[in-house]
Amino acid sequence: MKILVCVKVIKGELNPFDESALECALQLSNDVTVLSMCPESAASTLLPLTRLGAKVILISDAMYAGSDTLATSYILSKAVSLLEYDLILCGRQTVDGDTAQVGPMLSQMLGISLVTNALSVSVKDMTVNASTRMGDESVNLPALVTVERGYVLRFASIFSNPGKVQVWDNSKLLCDSSKCGLSGSPTRVLKAFESERGKRKCKFITMD
């Protein structure tokens, strides 16, 4: 079974939800490809994932800078369309942008089934079964599942060697420039601030 895992690099680290999705993928298959849209400087964060046996594709092009979730999903969908896959795993959300939009948008653009917020995932007879807080869900492959933080990413074996991070730019993806970057991003961030309203007091109690 071929699994693609979408990961976002945040300040030189993997988004924790995406680490969980990657571990989930490694438990399900030995044919795992990691996709990450990030600056080429993030290759050093992605390289260690090759020691886990994953293929790694870094997607980067000046044209993609300033992309919002819609443009990011479009660019990822163009990369995915160049690959064979049965299942795509994303994290539930990132810990910076925090929107949880990319997984669902990507599944819509690819026209495949979607299950969100999976606590655990299994696959049998071309059906993916995901357990969520809302109950169990089953959908046919190909499908996209977003994964909670339940899985702990394994350490690489000391006997493993790093492979190569492939870099794909727009000469490979052939994205429509009007759908990428700022021009392809309908979101406008007017202001970012911490809300004072609804701030709650928190009291820590001991076990006793």
Site for ligand FAD, rule CB under 6 A: 6-8, 15, 17-18, 35-38, 65-69, 72, 76, 90-91, 93-94, 96-103, 185, 187, 189
Largest CA distance in the chain: 63
**Shortest gap between Cβ of 186 and ligand FAD (angstroms)?**
9
Spatial contact of 33 and 83, defined as CB atoms under 8 Å apart:
yes
Residue nearest to ligand FAD (CB): 97
Sign of CA dihedral 76, 72, 154, 125: negative
Shortest Cβ 71–ligand FAD spacing (Å): 7
Question: Looking at beta carbons only, is 90 or 130 nearer to ligand FAD?
Answer: 90
Q: Are 47 and 162 in contact (CB under 8 A)?
A: yes
Least distance from C-beta 206 to ligand FAD, angstroms?
A: 35
Rounded least distance, CB 67 to ligand FAD, Å? 5
Q: How far is the CB of 106 from ligand FAD (least distance, A)?
A: 7
Q: What span, in angstroms and rounded, lies between the C-alpha atoms of 109 and 198?
A: 36
Residue number, 100 or 119, with CB nearest to ligand FAD: 100
Helix (H, G, I), strand (E, B) or coil at 114: strand
CB of 18 or CB of 137, closer to ligand FAD: 18
Q: Kindly tell me which of 137 and 181 has the beta carbon lying closer to ligand FAD.
A: 181
Radius of gyration of the chain (CA): 18
Q: With contact defined as beta carbons under 8 Å apart, do 87 and 118 qualify? A: no
User: Which structure tokens are listed for 38?
Assistant: 């990030």
Is 40 in contact with 149 (CB distance < 8 Å)?
no
The nearer residue to ligand FAD, 103 or 142, going by C-beta atoms, is 103
